[in-house]
Each structure stands twice: as C-alpha cells, then as structure tokens.
Structure 1
Amino acid sequence: MDDLAGFLRTRRSRVDPVTVGIPTDRHRRVQGLRREEVAHLSGVSVDYYVRLEQGRATQPSEQVLDALARVLGLDDTERGHLYRLARQRRRPAKTPAARLRPELLRVLDLVPHAPALIMDHRLDVIAGNRLAALLYGRPLPGLNTARHIFLEEPERGLYGEWEKCTLDVVGHLRLAAGKYPDDPRLASLIGELAMGSDRFRRLWARADVRARTHGPKTYHHPLVGLLELHQENFALPDESGMELIILSAPPASPTEDGLRLLASLTPTPQTPHPTPTTRVRE
C-alpha cells in the first residue's frame, strides 16, 4: 500500500533547492531536488540513493535515514513514517484487532454532554455514545468516517471544513498504511476510496502524512445548525491502533446550547436511536 521509494520521490520533489544552498536558474526543469543532489547532501553514493528510490536497496541504516530526513526537511510525523517504511521488510507490524474491554465502553457512557466515540486505524467507528450517533445522524455500527467524508458527504452536508477534513483523512490513512502494510481491510478501503473519489486519488498521490491529536472541528448539523467543537484524540493502550475521540464545546457557548438541544431531540425513523453504547461486529 505504501513504500519507501514512493515516499522519497514525493518528498524530494517538494524541496526548494535554494533552501539547501543549490542555486537555480530558469533552465532548471526538475521540480525539487535531483537524485544526485539528495545523495550528495545526505552523504551517500548516488548509486545507493537511486537504488533506494527504485526499491532495490533494503534496510538503510539509522544514519542514512537521519540524513535523508534532514535533507528532505521532514517534520516529526514524516520522519516517523520514513523509519516505519524502512523497517517494513525487517519486522512488519501485526494488524491489531478492534476489541474493546467493557470498561472502555462504560467510559463512553460517562461522557453524556459531548459526542464521544472510539475509532480504529481504518477510521471505522467501533463504539460511540448517544450524542455521537445524533451528531452523525445515523447508527454508528458500520460507519467509516473516511468513506462518509469522501463518498457520502462530498463538498456538502455535515462537515464545515470538508476540504481540510479530506486532507486529515488521507494523511491519517497514509500513516496507517505505512504502519500496517499487510492489512487487507485497509487496502480494500483505500482501493474503494480511490475508485469512488477523484479528490482522494489526487491527495493519495501526494503521499502526505498527518497525525492529528487535537484541534477545532466544525459541523453543520441539519437540526441544530453550526457546531464549533474541539476534538481531542486519546490513543488507547496495548498498541490497539484505536483512539478515544471526544468533541467538546466551550462553556456557555452557542455550540454548548446546540449540543444540549441535540441531546434533547428524539431520533426520527431516519436516525434510529442507538443503544447507550454501540459496537460493530467483528
């Protein structure tokens, strides 16, 4: 699903030669750095770097990876992704199983005034509270937020900043593909999104990676209007690949009023009332 060679090529193409001390003129036709320039700046042979980009060199050393990350200007998220891709053939990560302890399900019930849900690395919703189901306007079992954003709500509907959401989703799935390259369900999801969405295909080709742990999240709910929430992601232990996500509203804000109104609504036949905690089938 993802590979070291492709990641190096896309990162190389985005480096401005001037920023690494290489003069340019109007005759330069290469976007970003040339292979030989990356090799020289990284202190490796041109032949070795070419083999890296062709997928013929395996197990680069930590020193080589550190040098490449420096030359390519990788941030912490991209640097971690680079190391995972380089280690794939040595020690592939085992795909985690999405199983929840009953104690975690009880945690969701203890958050009655904010949408709270648990997602896995594929962005499948594993469980959620009543307010989360009312926010999405549908039962949570079977909901995949990547599919929802790209195939069910494209450029309209629930998501206030749809384009930014798509960047976050693709960046997350890139990270997941690098960590779990042998996950067939993840590969199937990526293929489905690529077949169904031109925007997904364009963003996926950029090979950007993103790790979002908190930040604003805006929704346009059809019943209660604008909801300007704050999202916090909490990684669950035991390397499960799952996260607890809580969407909170500032105290005494219009959004807090909106959530209170949403919680008071009786679900319609189109929005079935979920049980206090819901779970997808394995």
Structure 2
Amino acid sequence: MESATGLGATLRLWRDRLPPSAAGLPARSGRRTAGLRREELAELAGLSVDYVVRLEQGRATSPSPQVAGALARALQLDDGERDHLFRLAGLAPPSREAVPRHISPGVQRALARLDGTAAVAVFAADWQLLWWNRTWAGLFGDPLAIPVRWRNFARSGFLVPGDGDGDGDGGGRAEAGVRRLSQWPVESVDEEAVRAAVVADLRRACGRYPRDRALAALVRELRDGSEGFAALWATGAVGTHRADHKVVHHPAVGPTTLDCDVLTDGDADLKIVVMTAAPGSEDESRLQLAALAGQVGAATP
C-alpha cells in the first residue's frame, strides 16, 4: 500500500484543494467535491484519465519530467511544491540553469479570468507552449491534437514536419498528421518581422540559459533545417517579440482580425501571448464564437 505521503496520495490532496473555477473550468452541477475531478486534472495536464488514476493509485510511480511538469502547472503548485512533486516521482527538480517551464498559481489565476474575452497562451523562453485557455484552443484548434515537439512556435514556424514525427510522452491525445500550432491559416501583418523577432528572442534566451542542452539542440535543429532561420541567426540580432496583428482564417466563424501582444514574466522568462479584438467589432463576436469550441489545457513540454 502506498504511503499517505507518497506521490499518489499527495497528488490527490493537491487535486482536492484546487477548485475548477481557479483553473478556468466551467461550473458544473451535481459536484460532490469542491476540488478537481480526475477527468478535469487529466484535461488540464494533457494526460489520459487512466494514467492519472494509475498515478494516484500508486500503479504508476515514475512519470517523466515532462509529465511531472504538466501536473505541477495543472495543479497550480508553487516552486517548492513543484520540486517536492519531482522528488516524489524520483526525479531531480528542474535545474535553475534550464529554461523555466513553471507558471505560478497567481499568474494562472489572473490569466484564467481573461477566458472568453481574449485568447491567451503561455510559452517558455524557447517558445515551447506551456498553457492555453479555452478561447485560444477555440481560435486555433486544440493544442492537445499536436505532438509535443510541434507545440513550439519557432519549430512550427520554420520547419516542415515529417511524417514520422511522434508525440513521445505517454498519456497524451496527439493525433497523427497535425503539426502546426494553428490548425488553419493565420496571416501576420508583417510576417518577416515576426520571424526575425522570434530568432532574435531565441538568441536572447541562449544568452540567459547557455547550459540548457535542449535549447541549444533546438537552435541547431532550426539552423540545420531552415535556411531562413540560419540567415536570420547569422545577423546576430538580440531582442524580444512584443506585438503583432493577425488574421485567423477560422473555418467556422470566418476571418478574425486580432491584436497580438506578448507580455513577459521577468523572473521566469515566460511569454504571455494575448490575442484580443476591438471592442464592439464583428471580430470580437467571432472571437467569442470561436471560444465556445475551446479546450483549456497545460501542455507537456
């Protein structure tokens, strides 16, 4: 029998204390508990319900670092609790020299309140998608349908996915053939400026996290696989991606013009991407309609 302080029991305690409203989930009638259901935790973490059940029952005791990170974000753990989760799973806590992938509970609560009025996603310093709200998923398509490696804005924008690419982490719901962060066409007002800004931002991340092997491998992959990326990298530019204007060609609601602003959590180098429409416009109505089909979630990195 698993200890009351073991991984499964601790996951249950953390799940029971988090109300669905704090996670951006809609209120549902007939609830028997104030906390999250297993199905809701699985949805938020991008895992299968069966895998969450096995973790809580002690039948799965060795989640990968990616799964542990997704659980920590979904459960809105603080840094100390996240490190404790990693240790219970037999993992070393995330290195302070690596690109941070944790989102603080306060940031998650603040962003959850924007759902329905703005499409919001959180990316790490290497442009790996970490979290999104329902409006984002409704606007661009469910990110859980995308293999983990292609939930990276830089990789998705510069490389052409191959047929053999897979998800690589147990419990997810990725579908074969879906490889882009947006599942339908998106136009930027100045596409070249966006691409240049992303490359300059990645160079800045390399300066901040010079010992992060995954970040270095990503840059090598992009330089080897994309002449466009290699040419922009060769300029040596360092900077950040701040703002853009986009048109999302949504198949159900039609073309939707949006302002795209990139905010930064300075301590963790998180990139909070916020997509909004002009108040009272047809685009705002289309954004609200797109949100109805959304799926809130936290991606495994």
Alignment-mate amino acid for residue 243 of structure 2: H
1:157 is aligned to 185
- Give 1:106 deviation, angstroms: 2.5
Stretches of structure 1 that go unaligned for 5 or more consecutive residues are 1-92, 267-272
- Give 1:167 deviation, angstroms: 1.5
Aligned length: 179
Structure 2 CA distance, aligned partners of 1:245 and 1:144? 13
Residue 166 (structure 2) pairs with residue 147 (structure 1): no
8 A contact 1:217–1:228 mirrored in 2: yes
Instruction: Pick one of 220, 225, 228 that aligns with 1:196.
Output: 225
Alignment-mate amino acid for residue 214 of structure 1: A
- Give 1:187 deviation, angstroms: 1.0
Alignment-mate amino acid for residue 128 of structure 2: D
8 A contact 2:135–2:288 mirrored in 1: no
Residue 139 (structure 2) pairs with residue 120 (structure 1): no
Cα gap change, 1:129 to 1:234, in 2 (>3 Å): same
- Give 1:135 deviation, angstroms: 2.4
Instruction: Pick one of 212, 216, 230 that aligns with 1:187.
Output: 216
Q: Render the CA deviation track for 1:73-120: whole Å, top value 9, x for unaligned.
A: xxxxxxxxxxxxxxxxxxxx9334311233332323211221011111
Residue 298 (structure 2) pairs with residue 279 (structure 1): yes
2:271 is aligned to 243
8 A contact 1:227–1:255 mirrored in 2: yes
- Give 1:160 deviation, angstroms: 3.2
Residue 232 (structure 2) pairs with residue 229 (structure 1): no
Q: Render the CA deviation track for 1:106-141: whole Å, top value 9, x for unaligned.
A: 323211221011111000111110111222223257
Cα gap change, 1:159 to 1:118, in 2 (>3 Å): same
Cα gap change, 1:117 to 1:178, in 2 (>3 Å): same
SS in 2 for 1:195: helix
Q: Report the TM-score when normalising by structure 1.
A: 0.56
Alignment-mate amino acid for residue 142 of structure 2: R
Alignment-mate amino acid for residue 248 of structure 1: T
Cα gap change, 1:225 to 1:195, in 2 (>3 Å): farther
- Give 1:219 deviation, angstroms: 3.1
1:131 is aligned to 135
1:101 is aligned to 104
Cα gap change, 1:147 to 1:223, in 2 (>3 Å): farther
Q: Render the CA deviation track for 1:195-225: whole Å, top value 9, x for unaligned.
A: 2222111111112223233343343334333
Q: Report the TM-score when normalising by structure 2.
A: 0.53
Structure 2 CA distance, aligned partners of 1:169 and 1:179? 15
8 A contact 2:188–2:247 mirrored in 1: yes
SS in 2 for 1:234: strand
Cα gap change, 1:229 to 1:151, in 2 (>3 Å): same
8 A contact 1:108–1:128 mirrored in 2: no
1:68 is aligned to none
Instruction: Pick one of 247, 255, 261 that aligns with 2:283.
Output: 255
Q: Percent identity?
A: 29
Alignment-mate amino acid for residue 260 of structure 1: Q
Cα gap change, 1:222 to 1:172, in 2 (>3 Å): farther
1:214 is aligned to 243
8 A contact 1:220–1:227 mirrored in 2: yes
Cα gap change, 1:197 to 1:221, in 2 (>3 Å): farther
Cα gap change, 1:158 to 1:215, in 2 (>3 Å): closer
Residue 207 (structure 2) pairs with residue 178 (structure 1): yes
Structure 2 CA distance, aligned partners of 1:139 and 1:111? 18
Structure 2 CA distance, aligned partners of 1:198 and 1:222? 31
8 A contact 1:160–1:220 mirrored in 2: no
SS in 2 for 1:206: coil
Alignment-mate amino acid for residue 217 of structure 1: K
